Amino acid sequence: MTGLTEQGDAARASADMAAFDHGFLQDPYPAYRALRDAGPIHWREDIFQGAWLLTGHADVEQALADRRLSSQRTGGWIKRIPGVEEAYRGKNSRERLDAFQRLFGRAMVFVDTPDHQRLRHVIAAGFHPSLIRALVPQVEALAEELLAPLDDVRRFDFIEAFARPFPSRVIALLLGIERSDERRFMTWTDDIAAFIGALQPTTGQLHAAQRSLLRLVHYFEAVLVRRRRCPGSDFVSRLLLAEAQGAIRPDGELLAQCAMLLFAGHETTRNLLGNGLYVLLSHPDQWRLLRACPDLMQGAIRELLRYESPVQYTGRRVATEFILHGQTLRRGDLVLAVMGAANRDPRRFSDPDVFDIRRRDGAHLSFGRGAHVCIGAGLSMLEADVALRALMRRWPDLALASREARWNGNAGLRGLKRLALNTR
């Protein structure tokens, strides 16, 4: 199959405008609009060596909960990277690649029921709303610790000063690990994010992600040794207890959950904070409204997630052949549910390209749907709430130093590389 699904010459021309190039990485929404206008489903050879794209809200929502679509997709994803066989021809390098693939494949986000249900039951206990609420004073203290040194500066980079370290320290607090290692964490998660979010991953990105994930796992191996000797009340200790009780298998599952929790807890929240503040300050009337009416905070964060989602898409593999919108989706085909496009679907949201913190006409899909809905959504919302309230209190006249956004060039995990702010 090549090109797009048949929708007529005009529709095909419209969809052909959706080029996934530098312009797309800076602003994907015109391409999403062209795809939605051209039809409900498209086959693209220029994404992951072939993938079906779903961009409408109803289709994306259905796909995220569809049992005919599997979350077990890491094997085909890695093996189809151009040049991977040549790059990993040697026995040692192949063994390292296999270890990397196994670790990815055992993380909760990449498994199906019943394993997913078993792992989720264990991990969800650590994200219970009561436990998240209990973290509020500590999360507020972490925010204050990062912002206080900036009181005497007129300009700073929000990403480097706050959006990167803040969620790293919060997830370190939750897991019970040393936050002094945060620089290493951030480097490792950056490499993994660059691989996960690439539309056409390269062997270079694969190698960097493999190296960093294995380093992250080696780090947690040492942590687990210490926790087995001296368990505590932290998340890692909870996972060790679950392993001892048989709820987590002793075959690398525990290490995979630790690594992916650290990755997900840092990367996506960092982008929520950066994207969210950029959008708010790009709409000064909305920033002023939120300052005047802080009770709008939860709705404002939901609108930020809808308008500029940190996670733009997620993938599934077809497990059982079926027909969708006249197209045959065959077993093994990759399907991308594009939440970033679904969140701007005019059939679900009125004036979807308008940012309005008072919006009440639809639910965003940025945290997913169904069995794989983001397990850390509550923690991420808490961090955004604490951060925005702290910024408003400290600098009510906070403003962008430049309207030009410096995006990270990551199609899947959309975020800012830099966000220069003026405090007064």
Q: What is the maximum span of the chain, computed from C-alpha positions, in angstroms?
A: 67
pLDDT digits (tens, 9 = 90+) for 209-262: 999 999 999 999 999 999 999 998 889 999 999 999 999 988 789 999 999 999
Structure-token pair, residue 109: 């986000």
What distances in angstroms separate CA 71 from CA 65, 105, 254, one per listed residue?
Answer: 10, 9, 19
Burial of 360 (0-12, 13-18, 19+ CB in 10 A): exposed
pLDDT at 177: 87
Q: Write down the domain spans for the chain.
A: 9-422
Q: Which residues of the chain have pLDDT under 70?
A: 1-19, 75-76
Residue 307 CB contacts under 8 Å (≥ 6 apart), including other chains? 279, 343, 344, 355
End-to-end CA distance of the chain: 56
- The residues facing 327 across adjacent strands are 324
pLDDT digits (tens, 9 = 90+) for 300-343: 999 999 999 999 999 999 999 999 999 999 999 999 999 999 99
pLDDT at 9: 39
3-state secondary structure of 220: helix
**CB pairs under 8 A, 24+ apart, for 136-141?**
136/382, 136/386, 138/173, 139/170, 139/173, 139/382, 139/383, 139/386, 140/386, 140/390
H/E element, 329 = strand 327-329
pLDDT at 220: 93
pLDDT at 4: 41
Question: What gap in Å lies between CA 117 and CA 100, rounded to an integer?
Answer: 23
Question: What gap in Å lies between CA 221 and CA 198, rounded to an integer?
Answer: 28
3-state secondary structure of 44: strand
The CATH number for 9-422, chosen from 3.40.50.2020, 3.10.520.10, 3.30.70.980, 1.10.630.10, is 1.10.630.10
Strands (E), 20-126: 41-44, 51-54, 69-70
Question: What gap in Å lies between CA 287 and CA 289, rounded to an integer?
Answer: 5
Burial of 112 (0-12, 13-18, 19+ CB in 10 A): middle
Structure-token pair, residue 325: 């919108």
pLDDT at 18: 58
Question: What gap in Å lies between CA 105 and CA 316, rounded to an integer?
Answer: 13
DSSP category for residue 311: B
3-state secondary structure of 54: strand
- The residues facing 289 across adjacent strands are none
Question: What gap in Å lies between CA 349 and CA 307, rounded to an integer?
Answer: 11
